[in-house]
Structure 1
Amino acid sequence: MSTAPTDFIDLSFRTDLGLLFSRWLRSTSDAEVRLGYEAALAVAAPYGARYWLLDMRRRGPASLAATRWVIETFLPRLAEYFPQRVYLAYLLSPSHLTDFVPAGRPALLNCYEVALFSDEAAALHWLEHCRHAEAAPVL
């Protein structure tokens, strides 16, 4: 399933993988950042899609205000829609990724886990690893 609610984001859901693809198509305003994340949630929630690939390579960095909204408002709300952790693989251009390198590790909270990548295959591999780790029996 693919949907393009706007000219700045393309959303598609792969039912066979339970994976939401969110591809940002251009630079965005703060209001568009909020709209894009809300649209992604609207696509993912009905399917219980907890594995997201967010391709930010064409969007570039968001403003500090938009970034704070994502971290402080949007991501914590995921627990309202998904009873288990949501995994978000952010795909960034190498130059944009270097802005985040000092942070070092993926963010992990009770309702979500975030990892940053500059290679789509690595991002998809991480999402698949997360899926398999959750499915593995606890000894």
Structure 2
Amino acid sequence: MYAPATSDYLRLSYRPDLQLLIMRWTRPATSQEHRDGYAAVLALARQEQSGRWLIDLRSRGLADLNDLHWVLNDFRHDFQAALPGATRRIAYLTTPYHADILRPRLAEYDQNSGNSTQIQVFTEELPAQQWLQHGQ
């Protein structure tokens, strides 16, 4: 496993065998740290040409609504532009409580017909990795 970036709030790694980026938040993050973290994972995604991301929110919790909307609107366009030909899937790994909050928030995002980035919420890592690899 390749581990390119570590900070006190974020650990990034790349699994070349699965072509999978893993973003693990280690504590709650400020809005700036949130955006910096996504910029770091996007830079790694460009380098590795990987559009499959596992984002572990279990130690961090959910972002505030403004940061979530930023990810779903602004960042999504950067992600699509960075990897236009890649399959783009994001699996959020959360606690069951946070999954129940995040799923309805993402439902509105799923209604956008121009959206070519799939996002799912999981409470266990193995099903998340399987979905990232196979889309099922």
Give TM class, smaller chain.
Answer: 0.7 to 0.9
Structure 1 unmatched runs, 5+: 134-139
Rounded Cα–Cα distance in structure 1 between residues aligned with 2:104 and 2:120: 13
Kindly state the Cα deviation for residue 104 of structure 1 after the two structures are TM-superposed. 7.8
Question: Where does residue 136 of structure 1 map in the other structure?
Answer: none
- How many correspondences in the alignment? 131
Match of 1:4 in 2: 5
Equivalences for residues 49-64 of structure 1 within 5 A: 49-64=50-65
Match of 2:21 in 1: 20
TM-score between both structures, scaled by the size of structure 2? 0.86
Listed as ranges, the matches of 1:100-139 within 5 Å are 100-102=102-104, 107=110, 109-130=114-135
In structure 1, the residue matched to 2:88 is 86
SS of match in other structure, 1:49:
coil
Amino acid aligned to 1:125: Q
Distance 2:102 2:6 in 1: 29
Could you tell me which runs of 5 or more consecutive residues in structure 2 were left unpaired when the two chains were aligned: none
Q: Distance in 1 between matches of 2:106 and 2:15?
A: 30
Deviations 1:29-72, CA, capped at 9 Å, x for gaps = 10010000000011111111011100011110111111111111
Which stretches of structure 1, 4 residues or more, deviate above 4 A after TM superposition? Answer: 103-106
TM-score (norm 1): 0.85
Q: State the SS of the aligned residue for 1:4.
A: strand
Q: What secondary structure does 1:115 align onto?
A: strand
Task: Judge conservation of contact 2:103–2:121 (CA < 8 Å) in 1.
Answer: no
